[in-house]
Amino acid sequence: MFTRITLLKTISSLLLIACILLGSFAQTSYAQEDLMEFAEKTGFPVKEAYRPKASIVIDADSGQILWEDQPDLAWSPASIAKVMTMYLAFEAMEQGKFDLDTTITATEKDVKVSQIYALSNNKIALGVDYPIRDIFSMVAVPSSNVATLMLANLVSDNDGASFIRKMNDKAAELGMNNTTYFNCSGAQIGSFEGLYQAEGIDPNGENKSTARDLAILTYNLLKKYPDVLQFTSKPVVKTMENTPYEETFETYNYSLPGAKYGYDGVDGLKTGSSPLGGFNYIATAKKGDLRLIEVILGVGSWSDQEGEYERHLAGNAILDHAFSTYEYKKLLSKGSNKIEQKEINLEQDLYGFVNKNSEPSFTLADGQLSLKSDLGQVSPNIPAKSVSYQDSETQTGNNNSDKTNAQKTSQSAETPKKEHNYLISSLLAGLGLLFLICSRLFRKRIAGVKRGSHTIATPTTRLFFTLGALSILSAVGAFLFL
């Protein structure tokens, strides 16, 4: 009898493991809905030619990933590199080196840089004092290369190479493990016609980063220097107001409310485009108490300037999908809770983002309870939100002893029931496995621009997947509880 039970239990366990592995694989493919499908539902239709090469959405408070697609693809961020320059300028202000009212006097070299036609710029007049607050607006909105260079020179005392080393050191410090900077603005040093000096730095080097790394940068920027949003939240800005040097700029971030593809809640942050990088942007968006960070990379190509607009349709669709799929709520209340068959006492309420169509699960480790999310954290340097807990008091030793004796007495009586349960579990698990295999076989294959082709779910595959999932859940119930 012992041998039969052991055999049935082994078979049941192996089938359950197989189902769970296949089920999780199918669920990953199914849960990450295809952009082209849900974009239509959100009202921001995306053409296949403008599908982003990489994208990510994270919770700006916790760093939890809510959406990702090739987040670690190395890409040229173009003018998004200016975000790191702004970060280092804010850090220098925090250290007391200057403030928003500090001025930079324009030099002859600055004037010449501003006149380079191939670079995005604004007008700079010789000898004029430009306040840092206006310089920030020039960097953030028209993506002025001369303003970026003036800001970097102020931070580094006109040492271009030193500033680039600061950029790379800060990237390493923040955990941006796949980012390398060769210039401060996104335009190669060689594009500045000899006016941008950085000894020891490849003048033709191309900045590289990833959607994940840029999300990490933006997460830290908003945490430490949220005032950056005052320079990125308006569709139209004026610099040097009430002076002969006043200029008006319209944003390239067309997702800002009031712009061409305005999305409610967007209030930043930076766009970037180049022949190598196509069209990219970082968006920050807030609804109620919730703030999300989105990074979109590689929309379209430089030869088709429509990508400048289409990136915002894709970005809006993904952002709307994240807002509508997830909700932020109280997950557990302070006090007694039962987690993983363990009685614990939480020291405070736990809040977090969860998929509206699923129940949250949790991790217990080292006296901390945290939400277990499907996609995890954007960086290991940003731990998941957690609350402290304590184990509830256990029963006395005598009670434990009595319980053990009672269990031993009833063990022989439960043996036939266990054998029956394992048999039922095996049959249900096998049936679930069959349904999941069918859900994979009947998926529809379509052409794609990123990986040649990919498959999407159909009503038939969804039915098979649902039946498979229900069978697996029933198998687990039979295995554990019947």
Helix (H) or strand (E) holding 221: helix 211-224
Give residue-wise pLDDT tens across range 121-146. 999 999 999 999 999 999 999 999 99
**Residue 316 and residue 300 share a domain:** yes
Give residue-wise pLDDT tens across range 215-224. 999 999 999 9
Number of domains the chain is built from: 3
- Domain membership of residue 411 (yes or no) is no
> What is the CA 105 to chain-centroid distance, rounded?
39
**Residue 218 and residue 136 share a domain:** yes
Average pLDDT over residues 250-257: 93
- Domain membership of residue 407 (yes or no) is no
pLDDT at site 409: 44
Q: Check which CATH number belongs to the domain holding 104 and give it.
A: 3.40.710.10
Average pLDDT over residues 261-288: 93
Give residue-wise pLDDT tens across range 420-468. 566 676 776 777 777 667 766 665 544 443 334 444 556 666 676 777 6
Average pLDDT over residues 96-109: 96
Could you tell me the pTM of the whole model?
0.75
Give residue-wise pLDDT tens across range 347-377. 888 888 888 877 888 888 888 888 888 788 9
pLDDT at site 326: 86
**Residue 213 and residue 161 share a domain:** yes
**Residue 84 and residue 182 share a domain:** yes
CA distance 134 to 241: 9
Token duo for residue 1: 């009898």
Q: What is the dihedral of CA 276, 279, 280, 281, to 10 degrees?
A: 150
What is the overall mean pLDDT for the chain? 82
pLDDT of 416 higher than 60: no
Provide the 3-class DSSP secondary structure of residue 274. Answer: strand
**Domain membership of residue 440 as a residue range:** 2-31+417-480
pLDDT of 31 higher than 80: no
**Residue 310 and residue 188 share a domain:** yes
Active-site residues: which are they?
A: 79, 82, 143
Name the domain boundary from 325, 341, 359.
Answer: 325
**Residue 471 and residue 352 share a domain:** no
pLDDT-wise least confident of 53-57, 61-65, 200-204, 345-349 = 345-349
Token duo for residue 407: 């269990």
Percentage of the chain beyond pLDDT 90 is 52
CA distance 31 to 46: 19
Q: Check which CATH number belongs to the domain holding 367 and give it.
A: 2.30.140.20
CA distance 196 to 119: 13
**Residue 56 and residue 142 share a domain:** yes
Q: What is the dihedral of CA 142, 180, 54, 252, to 10 degrees?
A: 0
CA distance 241 to 140: 17
**Residue 377 and residue 304 share a domain:** no
CA distance 246 to 31: 50
**Residue 65 and residue 91 share a domain:** yes
pLDDT of 10 higher than 80: no
Banded model confidence at residue 337, pLDDT cuts 50, 70, 90: confident
Higher pLDDT, 398 or 211: 211
